[in-house]
Structure 1
Amino acid sequence: MNFRWFFLTGGYSGLFPKAPGTAGTLAALPAGVAILAYFGSQTLFLASLLLTLIALKAINAYEAQSGIHDDKRIVIDEVVGMWLALSIAPGTAFAWPELTVWENGLSVQIILAFLFFRLYDIKKPSIIGRIDREAKGGWGVMGDDILAGFAAGISSALVWQLLLKTPLFS
């Protein structure tokens, strides 16, 4: 096994026999939350874009070598999608102690971002599914997860705002 395989499988989390996409998404959470806490949402967003560029090249090389398109063991796309969702959902910087404070909604938004991302990544509604079916190469692997990450981040933020407006939580 080489570094490219380690990278593409999200630190080998994609080798998990059951639900490798979910395993890759869960593996992305601690690193994403750490980057969010120490460096902020802009850095996490930019790290997602950098990972995307590196992953596109690595996926294209892997597919050319193996002849396999969208190998289910490749989960770097889930890492990127989850990081995008995390960079959009909270929309504010925070420190570690604030993670468990209900009122700021960070822990709730992280959970919502994860749930929405997995929902959109599995169900592939609308253009997310179209990109998954029709795009080729690295963009075919990465594109649906990039859009699912954006949609999950926005959905998480919207749901949190709705929760804040309900009498039960205000």
Structure 2
Amino acid sequence: MTDSLQSSQPMPLSVWRNPWHNLAFGFGSGTLPKAPGTWGSLLALAFVPLWQTLPGWAYGLVIVASMLFGIWLCGKVAQDLGVHDHEGIVWDEFAGIWITFWLVPAGWPWLLLGFLVFRVLDIVKPWPLSWVDRNVTGGLGIMLDDILAGFAACGLVHLVVWLVG
């Protein structure tokens, strides 16, 4: 769901005491009162220049690890909190942003473009993202729409790189 549609969930204090909850809530970025997914995406964006220094295969391993870990993490934390997908859980945005920039050239213009494309896809949730968001449950359900948004954003950014390059 979009950030604005889920703003009624109370923020659990466990975010500050439980390391798994802290990770799922993006080191606290998901606790911000407005647009937690956007804040989580911005914090995740800070890691991208570091990942871009890695060889493509190593960055790919970071992506695979963040996806697999995220399925477990988001499922665990949602279960701990007794909710399907708490608005403050933003590890899915971390993985989605990191996917967006795989093999994308470094530089602020690409970071800005990729961030905007990913956020639009994650908020608007065109089909099949909307179907996944409504029908897939658990940790996989929390993660999958953002994973797909990340791959779609990555493809669109690569298309722009190819067109202007």
Whether 1:15 and 2:15 are equivalent positions in the alignment is: no
SS at match of 1:17: coil
Residue 109 (structure 1) shift: 1.9
The answer on whether the counterparts of 1:109 and 1:157 sit within 8 Å (CA) in structure 2 is no
Match of 2:104 among 82, 89, 109: 89
Q: Distance in 2 between matches of 1:13 and 1:123?
A: 21
The answer on whether the counterparts of 1:41 and 1:88 sit within 8 Å (CA) in structure 2 is yes
Whether 1:70 and 2:85 are equivalent positions in the alignment is: yes
CA offsets, 1:110-155, max 9 Å, x none? 2211111001000000111111111000111100000000010110
CA offsets, 1:4-38, max 9 Å, x none? 0111011111111111000000001111221212x
Match of 1:27 among 36, 43, 47: 43
Q: Distance in 2 between matches of 1:44 and 1:11?
A: 21
Match of 1:79 among 94, 103, 123: 94
Larger Rg, first or second structure (1 or 2): 1
The answer on whether the counterparts of 1:81 and 1:145 sit within 8 Å (CA) in structure 2 is yes
SS at match of 1:70: coil
Count of matched residue positions in the alignment of Structure 1 and Structure 2: 149
**Percent pairwise identity:** 36
Whether 1:109 and 2:119 are equivalent positions in the alignment is: no
The answer on whether the counterparts of 2:129 and 2:149 sit within 8 Å (CA) in structure 1 is yes
Whether 1:130 and 2:142 are equivalent positions in the alignment is: no
Partner of residue 59, structure 1: 74
The answer on whether the counterparts of 1:33 and 1:86 sit within 8 Å (CA) in structure 2 is no
Letter in 2 for 1:66: L
Partner of residue 57, structure 2: 42
| Root mean square deviation of aligned Cα | 1.4
Scaled by the length of structure 1, what TM-score is found?
0.82
Scaled by the length of structure 2, what TM-score is found?
0.84
SS at match of 1:119: helix
Residue 2 (structure 1) shift: 1.0
Q: Distance in 2 between matches of 1:10 and 1:41?
A: 24
Residue 88 (structure 1) shift: 4.1
Residue 162 (structure 1) shift: 2.0
Residue 40 (structure 1) shift: 3.1
The answer on whether the counterparts of 1:112 and 1:156 sit within 8 Å (CA) in structure 2 is yes
Partner of residue 144, structure 2: 143
Greater per-residue helix proportion: 1
The answer on whether the counterparts of 1:132 and 1:144 sit within 8 Å (CA) in structure 2 is yes
Q: Distance in 1 between matches of 2:82 and 2:56?
A: 36
